[in-house]
A and B are shown apart, each in its own frame.
Chain A
Amino acid sequence: MCLAVPALLVECDGEEAVADLHGNRVPISTALVPDASKGDWVLVHAGFAIQKLTENDAREAWDILKDLQRRSETS
């Protein structure tokens, strides 16, 4: 029930911020992520940043790699 998209915070002034969405600049509120600052990636939903994003997508890729490797070794 939640359309939210990742965006980069390019301006931050108190709770008012501007997020960059592939070139589109969207004014948003950071009231829900008070420790977010310029340069952070955030998840934007209905005009609010609802979370700071962390880099954590390596894991699935590694799992698949290992599995594929294992399959090719046993075949």
Chain B
Amino acid sequence: MMISLHEQARYWIDRLHAAAAKLSRPVQFMEVCGTHTVSAFRCGLHSVIPENVKLLSGPGCPVCVTSQGQIDQLIALASQESLTLCTYGDMLRVTGSDGSSLEKARSRGASVKVIYSAMDAVKCAQATPGRQVVFIAVGFETTTPATAVAIQAAHRLGLKNFSAFISHKLVLPAMRALLRSDDVRIDGFLAPGHVSVIIGAEAYRRIVKRYQKPCVVVGFEDVQMAQGLALLTEMVNESRMEIVNLYPQAVSARGNPRARQLMDDTFQVRPVSWRGLGLLPHSGLALRDRFKAFDACERFGIEAIDVPEPAGCRCGDVITGRCSPAQCALFGHVCTPVNPIGPCMVSSEGTCGAWFKYARGRALPQEVFA
């Protein structure tokens, strides 16, 4: 008997409502993946879940957690002569402190190329030996292995004109920092499906044990997310703090060992600054000495700088679940997708952008539970 996806989704939403009715207090679950943020909105999940269950968006958008200083540095780099910046599309519209962006730099003649794969940047360097090619390496563990492959390929090829601006971050330290924080209450996590493909479902074991919060690994289909919320709510009701893997087709207990080996060979862990969370030890990556020659910051003498967030911007609070976008005074007035002030509003991947694009004008929960 085939059950349609529609019936399956309805089944899990009903089950979520049944479990929510038994809750002794409202609950807040958090997803930490920009793609979950967008997928949840696209399928209208927020509009069908019960009032006393909230889904918060966490620091899951790698662009949003990139510091303002780094963004300014990248925009400055783009304008250098004989240099091509290769970037994933996500970074193109992020706003610098002076209102500029890579998109605007491109319109002024800077060589900025949107690529689909990290290897495209390597190929670009091979094709233009007279130009320096810099690859903007952002992303969490899903995307980091690709950078590792690209760096190692560049190393093997002995490319002198390729380097990468390494801005990769790790998800687990952010999750731990959120759980340690006093000003946001998280009752469980929808764990990022594709990060989990790489790090494995067991990666969340220590968090579940130490902080006693249930954790469900889900993919990005509406059925999976509905099921995830239902199971999280049931686990809270039953005080059952477990990891449940709802994406076993892609996520194994240990993840992808080859990808993790490559990451480990290529990168070492270092403390980095997260918008909204401050400096987190062991939360970012840097190239190992063997590959240091490919580090764009070393090659171009770029030093870490501290730049204040735009005045009034609450991106840091939004991406850590301390407030909803609607609670930011700039949201929808001064800060819109057309005139983004902070990175969360840039297109629809950031939390603010997603709220604005998919939920504008709707009676959405305007506050988060304290």
Q: Which residues of A contact B (CB under 8 A)?
A: 1-4, 28-29, 31-34, 43, 45-48, 50-51, 53-57, 59-61, 64-65, 67-68
Q: Is B258 in the interface zone, CB < 8 Å from A?
A: yes
Find the B residue at minimum CB distance from A50.
B197
Contact of A29 among B8, B60, B119, B195 (CB under 8 A): B119
In the docked arrangement, what's the CA distance between A46 and B194, Å? Answer: 12
In the docked arrangement, what's the CA distance between A45 and B88, Å? Answer: 12
Contacts A1-B60, A32-B145, A64-B8 given; does A47 touch B256 at CB 8 Å: no
Q: Which residues of chain B from 141 to 160 have a CB within 8 Å of any chain A CB? A: 142-143, 145-146, 149
Contact A55 B192 (CB under 8 A): no
In the docked arrangement, what's the CA distance between A1 and B195, Å? Answer: 8
**Residue in A32, A48, A56, A60 with the greatest tally of chain B CB atoms within 10 Å:** A32
In the complex, which residues of chain B have a beta carbon less than 8 angstroms from the beta carbon of A65? 1, 3
In the docked arrangement, what's the CA distance between A28 and B149, Å? Answer: 12
Chain B 1-44, CB-CB to A under 8 Å as 1, else 0, gives 10100001001000000000000000000000111000000000
Contact A48 B149 (CB under 8 A): yes
In the complex, which residues of chain B have a beta carbon less than 8 angstroms from the beta carbon of A50? 142, 145, 194, 197-198, 256, 259
Please name 17 further chain A to chain B contacts, defined as beta carbons within 8 Å, in addition to the given A47-B146, A55-B249, sorted by A numbering: A1-B33, A1-B35, A1-B142, A2-B35, A2-B192, A2-B194, A4-B194, A29-B119, A32-B259, A33-B256, A43-B250, A47-B116, A48-B117, A50-B142, A50-B198, A50-B256, A59-B248
Contact B11 A68 (CB under 8 A): yes
Distance from B260 Cβ to chain A, minimum over Cβ atoms (Å): 10
Interface extent on B, as a size class? Answer: 35 or more
Q: Is B347 in the interface zone, CB < 8 Å from A?
A: no
In the docked arrangement, what's the CA distance between A48 and B120, Å? Answer: 11
Contact A56 B248 (CB under 8 A): yes
Q: Is B342 in the interface zone, CB < 8 Å from A?
A: no
**In the complex, number of A-B residue pairs with CB atoms less than 8 Å apart:** 100
Some 11 contacts from A to B, beta carbons below 8 A apart, are A2-B142, A2-B192, A31-B149, A32-B146, A33-B256, A45-B194, A46-B146, A47-B116, A48-B117, A51-B197, A61-B3
In the complex, which residues of chain A have a beta carbon less than 8 angstroms from the beta carbon of B60? 1
Find the A residue at minimum CB distance from B169.
A1
Contact of A51 among B116, B120, B250 (CB under 8 A): B250
Contact A45 B192 (CB under 8 A): no
Q: Is B227 in the interface zone, CB < 8 Å from A?
A: yes
Find the B residue at minimum CB distance from A4.
B194
In the docked arrangement, what's the CA distance between A54 and B247, Å? Answer: 10
Chain B 39-62, CB-CB to A under 8 Å as 1, else 0, gives 000000000000000000000111
Distance from A31 Cβ to chain B, minimum over Cβ atoms (Å): 5
Contacts A64-B3, A65-B1 given; does A1 touch B143 at CB 8 Å: yes
User: Top 8 closest A-B pairs, CB basis?
Assistant: A47-B117, A2-B194, A2-B142, A56-B248, A31-B149, A32-B259, A1-B34, A56-B249
Q: Is B96 in the interface zone, CB < 8 Å from A?
A: no
**Residue in A1, A47, A55 with the greatest tally of chain B CB atoms within 10 Å:** A1
In the docked arrangement, what's the CA distance between A46 and B141, Å? Answer: 13
Q: Is B139 in the interface zone, CB < 8 Å from A?
A: yes
In the complex, which residues of chain A have a beta carbon less than 8 angstroms from the beta carbon of B326? none
